Structure 1
Amino acid sequence: MLDRSNRRDDPPQTNSTTETRPVAFRGAGFAPKAGRRAGWIALALVIAFWQLAGSAGWVNPLFLPAPWAIARAIYQLAISGALWQHLSYSIMRIGAGWILGTVAGVIVGFAIGLSGLARGIGITFISALFPIPKIALLPLLILWLGIGEEPKIATIALGVFFSTAISVYSGVDAVPRNLIQMAQSFNVPFHAIVRRVIWPGALPSILAGFRITASIALLLVVSAEMIGAEFGIGAFVLQAGNLMQTDQLLAGVVILSLFGLAVGKLINWLETRLLHWR
């Protein structure tokens, strides 16, 4: 007679009447979805409360004009042509400075990421010069380049250059080395490795750097125009502040905000087109 206490291999008895319960799929990872409606609803509520506070007299319009007064100021600037004049100067300076700084930053960033000699020299100079506020160099650039558009564009280009170079070589360093070694084991040429392995791997970091440098360019153009420019959104905001025209001052701030949103939408579109493989 067998001892049932030693029979450990017997399968456990299960209740045939137990119902199976489906488990929710949790394999999506960290993929947050943008709540666009929530953002627009929150913005509309803030503007509505702001307008109510201004209409009810809770806030002095000299210190904080109502949204309707700001919209009226933007409309008057648009129909008078002053808005387009100031905006065209700012866009020209931002575009020229951003393109120059970005091209130089991408070249130097890839050189630092791919060459040991360039890394040793470049990181030393970037670490020493990056913390310097670029707007502080504007008087020196005016002395070197003269009074005109060149010092403002150079100031923007310098601010964009350092951030772009850092984001590019950080993205190159983040590319998995096993992918590069595998390509080298198949005798893939160096330029093909850069184009097909390193560039796609570093592209997310590069586009994130573009988002940062766009904001830096916007900040620098406003600061440069406040210091030494007759036309531009920064010069317009400074003039409106000196005259205590707070509705026009906030109109300039709103225009800058809308410009920043437009640039952000453009970068989102680039990420959607270039990073569709993620």
Structure 2
Amino acid sequence: MLERAPPKDPPQTGLDTESRPVGFRGAGFAPRAGRYSGWIALALVLALWQLAGSAGWINPLFLPPPSAIALAIWKLAMSGALWQHVSVSVMRIGSGWIFGTAAGVLVGFAIGLSSIARGVGITFISALFPIPKIALLPLLILWLGIGEEPKVATIALGVFFSTAISVYSGVDAVPRNLIRMAQSFNVPFASIVRRVIWPGALPSILAGFRISASVALLLVVSAEMIGAQFGIGAFVLQAGNLMQTDQLLAGVVILSLFGLAVGKLINLLETRLLHWR
């Protein structure tokens, strides 16, 4: 009778798989911005820019060094012209952004929740959204007169379309299983909107706020360049016509600082309202 050969030992790979620890892999994709990396990169760019201007590598008429731009901002602040231009622009941006955002949120939720509103609203938004809103400024001046109303209306129109699109896109992105589960427990419609749809759409809505704030900034500069005596856009246009490039870039820096401030404000809103993510 043949005897069965004993089983062979498995080959030794040199790795003890049973005792080797495995790191936690479920942290999710959550990129974090460095606390100082952005400021360090900005400081390096400004230092190289200042070095190029001081060494004469760049003609200061075409690109003044950062020190000249900072001096121009200081002179504008001391003369009071800076605060006059900034306050007028902030008033126009704030008014137009509030009106446009309020209307965009209402229309966006209506499109996201109502079949009739979706059929009508998407058609109008698709037809009117591609039109440059600044091209409507002469028509708005004809309708509303010369004053603040056409500028605010231009900003509101630009903000409205961006907000409405982001809101109804956020409502569509809410998982339908959550809505069906709430309906199966006979949760009222208003409570479903407030407790299910609103939190689910909030990330997209806040992203739309970030975009609409940038749109408002672009439109206020364009509107002030066309028909305004005061404002950052009017100041930049006047400095460019007089070839005062240091003051022109001072206005650009002020616009950039305003954009940074708005972005920081929206970051704070996201941290407070989206703490559950």
**Normalising by the residue count of structure 2, what TM-score does the alignment of the two structures yield?**
0.95
Q: Go from structure 1 to structure 2 and tell me whether the alpha carbon gap of 1:193 and 1:51 turns closer, same or farther (over 3 Å shift).
A: same
The 3-state SS of whatever aligns with 2:32 is coil
Is 2:150 the counterpart of 1:129?
no
Q: Deviations over 1:115-141 (max 9, x none)?
A: 000000000000000000000000000
Match in the other structure for 1:277: 276
Looking at structure 2, the residues matched to 159 and 2 of structure 1 have their Cα atoms a distance apart, in angstroms, of 90
Counterpart residue identity of residue 71, structure 1: A
Measure how far apart 1:3 and its partner are.
5.6
Measure how far apart 1:179 and its partner are.
0.2
Match in the other structure for 1:23: 22
Match in the other structure for 2:119: 120
Is 2:130 the counterpart of 1:147?
no
Counterpart residue identity of residue 102, structure 1: T
Counterpart residue identity of residue 72, structure 1: L
Match in the other structure for 2:87: 88
Looking at structure 2, the residues matched to 79 and 15 of structure 1 have their Cα atoms a distance apart, in angstroms, of 76
Measure how far apart 1:21 and its partner are.
2.4
Looking at structure 2, the residues matched to 179 and 3 of structure 1 have their Cα atoms a distance apart, in angstroms, of 65
Q: Structure 1: which 5+ runs fail to align?
A: none
Match in the other structure for 1:229: 228
Counterpart residue identity of residue 167, structure 1: S
- Percent of aligned pairs sharing the same letter: 84
The 3-state SS of whatever aligns with 1:36 is coil
Describe how 1:42-61 pairs up with structure 2 within 5 A.
Answer: 42-61=41-60
Match in the other structure for 1:106: 105
Q: Go from structure 1 to structure 2 and tell me whether the alpha carbon gap of 1:261 and 1:17 turns closer, same or farther (over 3 Å shift).
A: closer
Measure how far apart 1:16 and its partner are.
11
Looking at structure 2, the residues matched to 17 and 121 of structure 1 have their Cα atoms a distance apart, in angstroms, of 65
CA RMSD between the two structures: 2.0
Measure how far apart 1:36 and its partner are.
2.8
Describe how 1:1-278 pairs up with structure 2 within 5 A.
Answer: 4=4, 18=16, 20-278=19-277
Looking at structure 1, the residues matched to 214 and 90 of structure 2 have their Cα atoms a distance apart, in angstroms, of 13
Measure how far apart 1:159 and its partner are.
0.1
Looking at structure 2, the residues matched to 179 and 234 of structure 1 have their Cα atoms a distance apart, in angstroms, of 47
Q: Go from structure 1 to structure 2 and tell me whether the alpha carbon gap of 1:115 and 1:11 turns closer, same or farther (over 3 Å shift).
A: farther
Counterpart residue identity of residue 138, structure 1: L
Measure how far apart 1:26 and its partner are.
2.0
Q: Which moved more, 1:209-218 or 1:11-20?
A: 11-20
Looking at structure 1, the residues matched to 53 and 259 of structure 2 have their Cα atoms a distance apart, in angstroms, of 26
Measure how far apart 1:15 and its partner are.
9.6
Q: Go from structure 1 to structure 2 and tell me whether the alpha carbon gap of 1:199 and 1:17 turns closer, same or farther (over 3 Å shift).
A: closer
Counterpart residue identity of residue 103, structure 2: A
Looking at structure 1, the residues matched to 11 and 239 of structure 2 have their Cα atoms a distance apart, in angstroms, of 83
Measure how far apart 1:37 and its partner are.
1.7
Looking at structure 2, the residues matched to 182 and 196 of structure 1 have their Cα atoms a distance apart, in angstroms, of 12
**Normalising by the residue count of structure 1, what TM-score does the alignment of the two structures yield?**
0.95
Q: Go from structure 1 to structure 2 and tell me whether the alpha carbon gap of 1:18 and 1:72 turns closer, same or farther (over 3 Å shift).
A: same
Looking at structure 1, the residues matched to 76 and 198 of structure 2 have their Cα atoms a distance apart, in angstroms, of 44
Q: Deviations over 1:228-263 (max 9, x none)?
A: 000000000000000000000000000000000000
Looking at structure 1, the residues matched to 28 and 16 of structure 2 have their Cα atoms a distance apart, in angstroms, of 31
Looking at structure 2, the residues matched to 191 and 112 of structure 1 have their Cα atoms a distance apart, in angstroms, of 16
